Amino acid sequence: KHRTMQQLMRGVIRRKEFRLHQPLKSHPSAPMNDRFAVSVTLGSTTHEWTLLMNALRPETPPDMIFPDGYEEMINYEVLEGIKKWDHRKSTSLVDLLVEIREILRQSEFQRSFEFSEDKVRFELESIKALSPESEIRILNDELRAIECFIPIFSGPQPHKLKAAEELNDGKGDVACRLCLVLDQELANVSTRLDYPPTTKEELHAFCPAWEPGKTHAFDFVPLVQGLVQRKLLIQRARAILLDQLCEKLNPLSVDSAYHEKASFLCQIDNNFDAIAHMTLSNNFPDEPPTIIMQSVVQLIDRRPIIDVVIEYHWDPLWSIPVMVNHLIEVIRTELLEFRQKVLQQAQNAYVPVGTAES
């Protein structure tokens, strides 16, 4: 029984929209805590429920205590999670909580829809059609403001960067949430992207403003979705590119956090060494990586000789393996020319002892 209860609780703990706290025993003889407060996140609001389990008889469906007003929304006895309760199934408890939360989410949307003017209803319907998972609620009764939280998915994981048709199907994980606060005249709509605190700032996409009279949800939401996914796709593509370059070259340093820079040691016949510094911008792959060659042994005024690769052929529609092979060829070609430049500059800078400079 103890193990069964642990498995049921573990499923809830793993879900970020639920938080179990204030554990108590429903009976002194209970083998473990089986009464909890449940904090349920919906939009920017947290709802508090009370969960009553039975540690002595886990096969008995749990009971829930809701705040006033829930009775109109939830008929506890007809819930699928109650009728099909199976304590041997580890997801039974989380399935029940998800079912109740979904009823609350749908009720909040219906209340917001009935509360709003026609122009706002049009936007709400568009949001619901584009993103059925959205969380919509009345933010302020007096100001008649509606708050919408729209999940923005990370998109499919790319095997290689070429074109959209080469990507896997699927939405991916939720990368962030688009928050819209709509006034009834749509004259002052606020927009922002809410990222998880663990998301690095360099992965945050720009959130455009809502232009009154011009912007509508049916084109605004896909626009933001595209901006977020492109930001993530660029980051993934840079990481994959640098990983594959490291497999084929001799890396000295790699920016594993931002995937923007890497340095590689390059050699010719074991008698000339140089370092190739590569930088990938936020406009990659539209913009080719910047390559800077640096001498290792040859110095002028105690400084290495530097040469920037100005232009080379590049196609942003290449697959990543093609990009990798092309960059290696560019470095090898440049290395031969760079050696001649370095040796020539070093020779020109050399002044024999006893020779006066002109």
* Number of Cβ atoms within 10 Å of the Cβ of 108: 19
Q: What are phi and psi of 43, to 5 degrees?
A: 65, -130
Whole-number pLDDT of residue 306: 93
Whole-number pLDDT of residue 164: 33
Say if residue 122 is in the same domain as residue 90. Answer: no
Say if residue 88 is in the same domain as residue 146. Answer: no
Q: Is residue 131 situated within a structural domain?
A: yes
Say if residue 48 is in the same domain as residue 146. Answer: no
Q: Structurally, how many domains does the chain consist of?
A: 3
Say if residue 85 is in the same domain as residue 121. Answer: no
Say if residue 167 is in the same domain as residue 128. Answer: yes
> CA 284 to CA 130: how far, in whole Å?
29
Q: DSSP strand E in 183-289: where? A: 190-194, 250-254, 261-268, 272-279
> CA 64 to CA 73: how far, in whole Å?
14
Whole-number pLDDT of residue 198: 85
Its pTM stands at 0.73
Q: List beta partners, residue 236.
A: none
Say if residue 139 is in the same domain as residue 209. Answer: yes
Say if residue 233 is in the same domain as residue 282. Answer: no
Q: Is residue 92 situated within a structural domain?
A: yes
Q: What is the CATH number of the domain that holds 156?
A: 3.10.110
Whole-number pLDDT of residue 171: 66
What share of the chain in percent tops pLDDT 70?
92
Q: Is residue 108 situated within a structural domain?
A: no
Say if residue 169 is in the same domain as residue 198. Answer: yes
Q: Is residue 242 situated within a structural domain?
A: no
Q: Which of 97, 131, 163 is the last residue of a domain?
A: 97
Say if residue 279 is in the same domain as residue 221. Answer: no
Whole-number pLDDT of residue 294: 95
Q: Which of 209, 237, 265 is the last residue of a domain?
A: 237
> CA 214 to CA 202: how far, in whole Å?
30
Whole-number pLDDT of residue 189: 95
Say if residue 76 is in the same domain as residue 49. Answer: yes
Q: Which of 237, 266, 297 is the last residue of a domain?
A: 237
Say if residue 12 is in the same domain as residue 91. Answer: yes
| Spans in the chain with pLDDT lower than 70 | 1, 156-172, 350-358
Q: Is residue 355 situated within a structural domain?
A: no
Q: Is residue 353 situated within a structural domain?
A: no
Q: Is residue 356 situated within a structural domain?
A: no
Whole-number pLDDT of residue 354: 43
Q: What is the domain range of residue 58?
A: 8-97
Say if residue 178 is in the same domain as residue 77. Answer: no
Contact 81, 60 (CB under 8 A): no
For 257, the 3-state DSSP assignment is coil
